[in-house]
Amino acid sequence: WSLQGNQGDKWLQGIAQLPTCASEFNILVEGIRGTSFTGDIALDEFRFEQCYEDPPLPTCAQAIGDPNQFMCRSKHCIPQANKCDYELDCCDGSDEDDNICYDYQRCNFEADLCSWEPSAGTPLNWERYRANAIPYDQRPPYDHTTRSQLGHYLQLRLNSTIQRDTLATVSNYLGVAAQPGCTMRFWIYFKSSYNGQLVVGYRYAIGDEIRPLSFSSYQSCQTNATQCSWQRIDAPLSAVLTQPTEIIIGVRTGADRDGIMAIDDITYTPQCVQYNGTIPTVPTTTPYTGPQTTTSTPTPYTGPPTTTSTPTPYTGPPTTTSTPTPYTGLPTTTTASKGTPAITTAASVTTTKGEDKEPPKKSNVGAILGGIFGALAAIALIIIGYIYILPKIRAARDASASARLLESLPIGPITNPAYSETATSDA
């Protein structure tokens, strides 16, 4: 218990928690002067409450063989779940005896981190500290294991550079549970006005997303609270231990940079199986650093339905198709008679389309071009012939007309019908 700063001019109640089953101890109250000598500190009315051990209940003798009860050497009974959790529930210490707790996996951080590994690559990490190595107002008042300032625990050291929502974790590995009932227990000291968040989770691959686990509730103390203590957290694990699993304990920071967050005394019940191997690692994806590429994705048609007409193949009798053959330079016959224009004729080809034959699937561009050029050549010949022959036709027509005129004239001397050969007399 501690109190600092100006508390006003009134009496306040202070409550200090004594260790469980404490005996033969002294109470020490210390006052430290601050920067000013004008302050006053006064104490009054000390009293102890519930500082004795209740006698064993008569029903405790009936607990022998009860899997949910543990009988202390003093004949007191405690819940089986409270055994071997680094908390003296039996005042004689029999519930924490090494001979009783040999099959529990336990770590009190007094010598090292055991098999727990702090998260790497983060600006905030869990670090192992001895209680008296940190200023009093920045740490728990005592270590949970030894109930003294000489014990060790894990703590986060916050500062102004740590961003909000920063996650710091410790983890280790468990194998497939041999039987149901595997439970993790640990103790936390959580003092923060603007609460951070306790995270308990698991995952099957390193680097995968942390999946949350359910755990017992806890109460965070205010930063300026005069009374705050270690609290036990229970997290059942059997349901998720279907394969080697990473078990994770962590804290996600809040807005309070003066918060105190510590972990101590982590234990697994005997149903949990330690795993000494490695679990898979999620492959990391290397970002593409080459030139940018453009991918064109067709957009599906979302308009009204369309109707497609499929031609039905002809299945009737054979048909005869007359297809003009393009001009290929073959000689042509030109008929010209006197007094009539010249006539140029070109041969045509008649083909018969068979009933079961299909037209060859070849390009007809050449045939089309040949037909066009052949037609142009024929037209050119007609024009040239017309220009060349037309004068001759006209000359022949004129000559024929002249001949007919001459033939119609009488043969003999030409006489004037008004002229008479009879002599005229001058009368």
Please write the tens of the pLDDT for every residue from 44-74: 988 888 777 677 777 676 667 777 889 888 8
Q: Report d(CA 357, CA 148) in Å as an integer.
A: 106
What per-residue confidence (pLDDT) applies to 314?
55
- Does position 342 have pLDDT exceeding 50, yes or no? no
Q: Report d(CA 41, CA 48) in Å as an integer.
A: 21
Residue 301 pLDDT level (bands cut at 50, 70, 90):
low
- Helices H, strands E: what count in the chain? 1, 17
Class for the domain spanning 104-268: mainly beta
- Strand-pair partners of 225: none
For the chain, what percent of residues have pLDDT higher than 70? 68
For the chain, what percent of residues have pLDDT higher than 90? 29
- Strand-pair partners of 360: none
144 vs 38, higher pLDDT? 144
| 248-252-253-255 Cα dihedral, nearest 10 degrees | -160
- Give the range with max mean pLDDT: 37-46, 166-175, 272-281, 343-352: 166-175
What pTM was estimated for this model as a whole? 0.60
What per-residue confidence (pLDDT) applies to 423?
44
What per-residue confidence (pLDDT) applies to 111?
94
Average pLDDT, rounded, for the chain: 77
What per-residue confidence (pLDDT) applies to 361?
52
381 vs 298, higher pLDDT? 381
Q: Report d(CA 201, CA 216) in Å as an integer.
A: 13
| 314-320-322-326 Cα dihedral, nearest 10 degrees | 70
Q: Where in the chain is the domain with CATH 2.60.120.200?
A: 104-268
Residue 160 pLDDT level (bands cut at 50, 70, 90):
confident
What per-residue confidence (pLDDT) applies to 262?
94
Q: Report d(CA 144, CA 9) in Å as an integer.
A: 35
| 16-19-22-24 Cα dihedral, nearest 10 degrees | -50
Q: At 63, which amino acid appears?
A: A
Q: Report d(CA 162, CA 251) in Å as an integer.
A: 13
Lowest mean pLDDT across 91-105, 182-196, 217-231: 217-231
What per-residue confidence (pLDDT) applies to 322?
46
Contact 63, 31 (CB under 8 A): no
Q: Where in the chain is the domain with CATH 4.10.400.10?
A: 13-22+39-102
Which parts of 324-385 are beta strand (E)? Answer: 333-335, 343-345, 349-353
DSSP secondary structure letter of residue 80: G
What per-residue confidence (pLDDT) applies to 230?
93
398-423, pLDDT tens digit by residue? 666 655 655 555 554 444 444 444 44
- CATH of region 13-22+39-102, choose from 3.60.20.10, 1.10.3720.10, 4.10.400.10, 3.40.50.2300: 4.10.400.10
45 vs 162, higher pLDDT? 45
